Amino acid sequence: MMDTLAQTDREPAAASFFAGELGPGPAWLQTLRRQARARLEPEIGFPTTEQEEWRFTNMAPLRQWPLHAAAPAARRVGLEDIEPFRLAGDGYCLVFVDGRFRQDLSNLPGPGAPLRAGSLRAFWEDDGRELENHLARHAQGDANFFTALNTACFQDGAFVSAPANAVVEQPVQLLYLAAGERPGAAVHARNLIVAHHGSSLKVIESYASLTEAPHLTNAVTEIALGPDARVEHCKLQNENERAFHIAAVQAVQNRNSHWLSHSIATGARLARNQIQTLLNAEGAEAILNGLYLARGEQLMDHHTVVDHAQPHCESHEFYYGILAGRAHGVFNGKIFVRQDAQKTNAKQTNRNLVLSEHALINTKPQLEIFADDVKCTHGATVGQLNQEALFYLRSRGIGAGLARQMLVRAFANDAVERITLAPVRAHLEQLLTERFEGLDTSLSFHD
Amino acid sequence: MLEIRNLSAGVDGKAILKGLSLSVQAGEVHAIMGPNGSGKSTLAQVLAGRGEYEVSSGSVTFNGVSLLELKPEERARAGLFLAFQYPVEIPGVNSTVFLKAALNECRKARGEQELDAVEFLALVKKKTKLLELDPALLGRAVNEGFSGGEKKRNEIFQMAVLEPKLAILDETDSGLDIDALKIVSGGVNKLRRPDNATLVITHYQRLLNYIVPDYVHVLVHGQIVKSGGKELALELEERGYDWILGDAANNGKP
């Protein structure tokens, strides 16, 4: 039986995803694409639960899907459709519908703006030099099937670049919407964010569905931070609960750079987020903030990697999970402290609130430390709502449902407060309220 | 207002209250005193509706309603208030948001208009003065990082805002220094009205110098074994509980 299963897992899978077709682009990109495709099989192979990295996240169902490259949506998607998802006010927004850039729905910076932003395609067709320095150089997909697959076949994506010393106050939103009604549409979204020396940039990367059909998003985002650069990156994933969402975010940090990363996962049937940073020069600091809300049959997986390669860097990681129904959460937090990375300060916290006896969380810290003069701490907790607090609120006249909602909201509070973008915070408040209204009935603990 | 008849209750199968009876009328202050483990706090928790306690027999009528059939929030909305012995810290829940929600739930239940933010803040300002409570505390999470005295003051402050019909003060004096005790009891006294009542639960007579009771009851082994006027508290202070324990043993059930 085991043999049969293993046999099935070894079958070449890449073909079913993209029928051997590489994405477009100039010669240098084609070279990278061919290299990535060559690695897919058999070097990397489609992930199975026998691999430690995918132990709790079974991707096998994806192979049963009638996957196909997303086609231009039959339905017309207009400004009124994207309005509910816009979080940058009247600011910069790059809209992609079913993977295709929609200039007509986007708001791009003009020639006098303090940054450059647009579709990758537009840049590589015009002046690709900056892309060539960064694209597919940071997230190489050496070991990750989906990252390599993305590199081989992404059609388009977003490019955002802040020149040296530019301080861009207004956030840039990258908005990906799935609209196709035919089940199994796959989009490989690719983003490149470059913050040059001393610049400052805020990017909201959001994913949502306008369709109820199951679809696949396979996103890769590379973020290069120059010396003294600051980037706040907020990834919001709220796709429909039949979708599969796979994402990799890879930051590479130069001297004294500061990366504030948020991953807010609330949607998809299965969501796998790989959030990684390489602290590659002295004085770099990373804050990894995460919040996942899972209910029903959802699976939410976060794998994070903080790689301390150089001395005197700091990382602070806070991931919070709220699990209801029969949901399954996975958190795996890797911290590498390389031999040269003396005086590292690394901290990791993962807290989980389990609202139902049928919900499940697998949490695992993974620290690999090769330097001797370092400070590393980690902690993981799994708990239920505090019954004493619940009684206190109710004893003042607050109904059980609202009291639970207040406590759940309180649990998520720290994660929400770390986001500096007010519209994103407001959006989350709304989402938390809607999600946990009527918690009365969805709870199976106590009364 | 409150009519407790033959109330028996316990926790984890262990009987704590064993046929307790008590009658409280509007306008009255009753003190319940007793040695440790006599069931004082259990009585407070049972009246407030704490789920962990099981009532095995007896009845409690509150303004004509059977109290034991109500959920904790329904009891609060009906005008019952418990000042906790150990107020819980609730990180992430803002004090002001919490209290406004609570007040408006109670007002709705009474058929009154909900207060908007401006009206609520005006009310809060007035009531914080009554308890000499630092208004900055209300910008923080519920009880989080409050000192012991601040927590107790916050309980009475909440009582001042919610204006209950019956307030149960569970060991409100414990952990208070003399100045805080004067402020807290001053607040309680100012809240006294002909149409509300107070049940003061305490181990020591000290608090009763400031909140003067109309009746004092002695609770021993889950029953009220002796009742009297305020002078009974002084007698207990002087002679301790032993003589009553002796009496109770000799006389059997009162």
What mean pLDDT comes out for the span B215-220?
Answer: 94
| Alpha-carbon distances of A145 from A53, A56, A274, rounded to whole Å | 11, 16, 12
Return the CATH number of the domain spanning residue range B2-251.
Answer: 3.40.50.300
User: How many contacts (CB atoms, under 8 Å) link A and B?
Assistant: 80
Interchain proximity A394–B84, CB inside 8 Å: no
**CA B89 → CA A355, A385, A399, B106, B120, distances in Å?**
20, 13, 19, 22, 23
Chain A: residue nearest B99 by CA? A396
Across chain A, which distance is largest between two alpha carbons, in Å? 69
Split at pLDDT 50, 70, 90, the class of B249 is: low
Residue B192 pLDDT greater than 60, yes or no: yes
In sequence order, the β-bridge partners of residue A322 are A293, A353
Inside any domain, residue A140: yes
User: So what's the pLDDT on residue B248?
Assistant: 61
Q: How far apart are CA A135 and CA A32, in angstroms?
A: 9
**DSSP string for chain B:** -EEEEEEEEEETTEEEEEEEEEEE-TT-EEEEE--TTSSHHHHHHHHHT-TTEEEEEEEEEETTEEGGGS-HHHHHHTTEEEE-SSPPPEEEEEHHHHHHHHHHHHHHHTTPPPP-HHHHHHHHHHHHHHTT--GGGGGSEETTT--HHHHHHHHHHHHHHH--SEEEEESTTTT--HHHHHHHHHHHHHT--TT-EEEEEESSSGGGGTS--SEEEEEETTEEEEEE-THHHHHHHHH-SHHHHHHHHHH---
Chain A touched by B226 (CB under 8 Å): no
Report chain A residues whose CB lies below 8 A from the CB of B102. Answer: 393, 396-398
Residue A73 pLDDT: 67
Chain B environment of A447 (Cβ under 8 Å): 51
Half-sphere exposure of residue A338: CA atoms within 13 angstroms, side-chain side? 16
Residue B62 identity (one-letter amino acid): F
Average pLDDT of chain B, as a whole number: 91
Residue that the structure tokens 């029928």 belong to: A19
Shortest distance, CA A410 to any CA of chain B (angstroms): 4
- pLDDT tens digits for range B97-131: 999 999 999 999 999 999 999 999 999 999 998 88
Distance CA B156, CA B140 (A): 17
B82 touching A, CB under 8 A? yes
Round to whole Å and give the CA distance between B186 and B123.
18
CA–CA distance, B115 with B162 (Å, rounded to integer): 12
User: Within the 410-429 window of chain A, which residues sit less than 8 Å (CB to CB) from chain B?
Assistant: 410-414
What is the spatial distance between Cα B123 and Cα B120, in angstroms, rounded to a whole number?
5
Domain ranges, ordered by start, for chain B: 2-251
Q: Is the CB of residue B158 less than 8 Å away from at least one CB of chain A?
A: yes
Q: Is the peptide bond before A42 cis (omega within 30 degrees of 0)?
A: yes
Whether A223 maps to a domain, the answer reads yes
Partners of A235 in beta bridges: A205, A263
Residues of B in contact with A391 (CB under 8 A): 50-51, 72
Which A residues, 203 through 222, put their C-beta within 8 Å of a C-beta on chain B? none
Distance CA B148, CA A326 (A): 41
Please answer yes or no on whether A392 and B141 come within 8 Å at the CB atom. Answer: no
Instruction: Say yes or no for a CB contact (<8 Å) between B105 and A407.
Output: no
Q: What residues are paired with B17 via a beta bridge?
A: B9
* A393 contact residues in B (CB cutoff 8 A): 90, 93, 98, 102
Residue B4 to residue B21: CA distance in whole angstroms: 5
Rounded Cα distance between B151 and B19, Å, is 33
Coil, strand, or helix at residue A270? strand
Task: Compute the distance between CA of residue A363 and CA of residue A372 in angstroms, rounded to an integer.
Answer: 26
Q: Is residue A307 part of a domain?
A: no
Q: From chain A, pick out residues whose CB is under 8 angstroms from the CB of B91.
A: 410, 413
Say whether B76 and A394 touch across the interface (CB within 8 A).
yes
Global confidence as pTM: 0.88
Q: Which residue of A has its CA nearest to B155?
A: A396
Domain holding A194, by residue range, is 2-281
Partner-chain residue, chosen from B88, B97, B141, that has the shortest CB–CB distance to A392 = B88
Q: For residue A412, what is the nearest residue in chain B, using CA coordinates?
A: B92
Decide if B71 and A411 are in contact by the 8 Å CB cutoff: no
- Residues A257 and B83: their CA atoms lie apart, in Å, by 51
Mutate to test the interface with A, among B11, B90, B115 (most CBs of A within 10 A): B90
Would you call A393 an interface residue with chain B, using a CB distance cutoff of 8 Å? yes
Q: Chain A neighbours among B 88-117 (CB < 8 Å)?
A: 88, 90-93, 97-99, 101-103, 105-106, 109
Is the CB of B73 less than 8 angstroms away from the CB of A389?
A: no
On the CB side of A183, how many CA atoms lie within 13 Å of its CA?
Answer: 9
Give the span between the Cα atoms of B13 and B21, in whole angstroms.
21
Six-digit token string for A56: 């709790």
Q: Give the pLDDT of chain A (447 residues) as one tens digit per residue.
A: 333 333 344 344 444 455 468 999 999 999 999 999 999 888 898 999 999 999 999 999 888 888 888 887 667 899 999 999 999 888 899 999 999 999 999 999 998 999 999 999 999 998 888 999 999 999 866 789 999 999 999 999 999 999 999 999 999 999 999 999 999 999 999 999 999 999 999 999 999 999 999 999 999 999 999 999 999 999 999 999 999 999 999 999 999 999 999 999 999 999 999 999 999 999 999 999 999 999 999 999 999 999 999 999 999 999 999 999 999 999 999 999 999 999 999 999 999 999 999 999 999 999 999 999 999 999 999 999 999 999 999 999 999 999 999 999 999 999 999 999 999 999 999 998 888 875 544 443 433
Is A76's Cβ below 8 Å from some Cβ in B?
Answer: no
Residues of chain B found within 8 Å of residue A400, distances taken between Cβ atoms: 71, 73
The pLDDT score that the predictor gives to residue A57 is 95
Give yes or no for a contact between A371 and A337, defined as CB atoms under 8 angstroms apart.
yes
Between CA A285 and CA A277 the distance in angstroms is: 10
Inter-chain CB proximity B105 and A446 less than 8 Å: no
**Is the Cβ pair B92, A409 closer than 8 Å?**
yes
Interface contact B88-A388, CB threshold 8 A: yes
pLDDT in tens, B157-180: 999 999 999 999 999 988 888 888
Number of domains within chain A: 1
